[in-house]
Amino acid sequence: MLNSAVELKNFAFRYDKGNVLNDINLSIVKGEYVSIIGPNGSGKSTLLKCLNRIVKGGEGTISIMGKPLSSYSQKELAKSVAYVPQHLSSAFSYTVDEFVTMGRYPYLKAFSPMTSEDQQAVEKAVQLTGLSDLRLRPLNQLSGGERQKTYLAAALAQEPDILLLDEPTTHLDPKFQKDVQKTVCDVSRNLGITVLHVTHDLNHILTWSEKIVALKAGHVCYYGLSKDVMTADHLKNVFETDFHLLADPVEGHPIIVPEAH
């Protein structure tokens, strides 16, 4: 489709034995915010890694911004797709500024200084993520939430068409979760960036994201508007546990609660 940011046709992927992703057919519209849910081991991280060519191969086709993934050079792909991985390294002694600047690597030319465009992109990413006061702090002296924001800032400095996020809020306290969620939602809305966001935070999805892909055992189980996918029956089918959908007592919007007993 012409307006697809990401399109997979009959895509399947395996590491060594047994398919991890099977018969994936998806068309993600440019500028949309799509959450990816599914049980542990259902292939969510692998799907993102295939889109970013961190893992290579597979059957079927993947198109990124209307072009076959196989036709992209590595630099060209990095200008279009940015990725925040599930497991962040805490070992780096780079400062926040240095790390975010590395997000510009697909644009930099060998032996040439940064251009004013590079500097502006770094500045904007630092502002958007609220990291101005931490610019000179080394990564290994940051809290988990601050480090998460730094990785997000480096991804934004890439000025991508598509942002892939693998559980960026899982280990954050509620305020950091909301901060990161809001930043991602703002960049999707205001900058037209297509977001694919792997998350287990079902309640945040209803607030922030437009569509949901539900994966189960490497298959797309559901794909559609968040409010349509997010029913107690669908969630039970995906996660094999019971859920209640309650009305928020203050604002009335639905809240999803896993059955405790």
Binding site for Mg ion (CB under 5 A): 45
Q: Which long-range contacts (CB under 8 A, 24 or more apart) does 245-253 make?
A: 253/206, 253/207
Is 177 an interacting residue with respect to ligand ADP (CB under 6 A)?
no
Query: 43 or 160, CB closer to ligand ADP?
Result: 43
Q: How near is the Cβ of 48 to ligand ADP at its closest, in Å?
A: 8
Region of 41-49, 64-72, 153-161, 227-235 interacting with ligand ADP (CB under 6 A): 41-49
Separation CA 13–CA 55 (nearest Å)? 9
Q: How near is the Cβ of 46 to ligand ADP at its closest, in Å?
A: 3
The residue within the footprint of ligand ADP, chosen from 1, 10, 15, 54 (CB under 6 A), is 15
Separation CA 184–CA 32 (nearest Å)? 12
Is 169 an interacting residue with respect to ligand ADP (CB under 6 A)?
no
Can you tell me which residue has the tokens 């896993």? 258
Can you tell me which residue has the tokens 């502006």? 120
By residue count, the chain amounts to: 261
Which phi and psi angles does 102 have, rounded to 5°?
-60, -25
158: three-class secondary structure by DSSP: coil
The residue within the footprint of ligand ADP, chosen from 6, 8, 20, 81 (CB under 6 A), is 20
Is 160 an interacting residue with respect to ligand ADP (CB under 6 A)?
no
Rounded-to-5 percentages of helix, strand, coil across the chain: 35, 30, 35
Pick from Mg ion, ligand ADP, none: which does 103 bind, CB < 5 to 8 A by kind? none
Is 44 an interacting residue with respect to ligand ADP (CB under 6 A)?
yes
Is 22 an interacting residue with respect to ligand ADP (CB under 6 A)?
no
- Residues found near ligand ADP in the complex (CB under 6 A): 15-16, 20, 38, 40-46
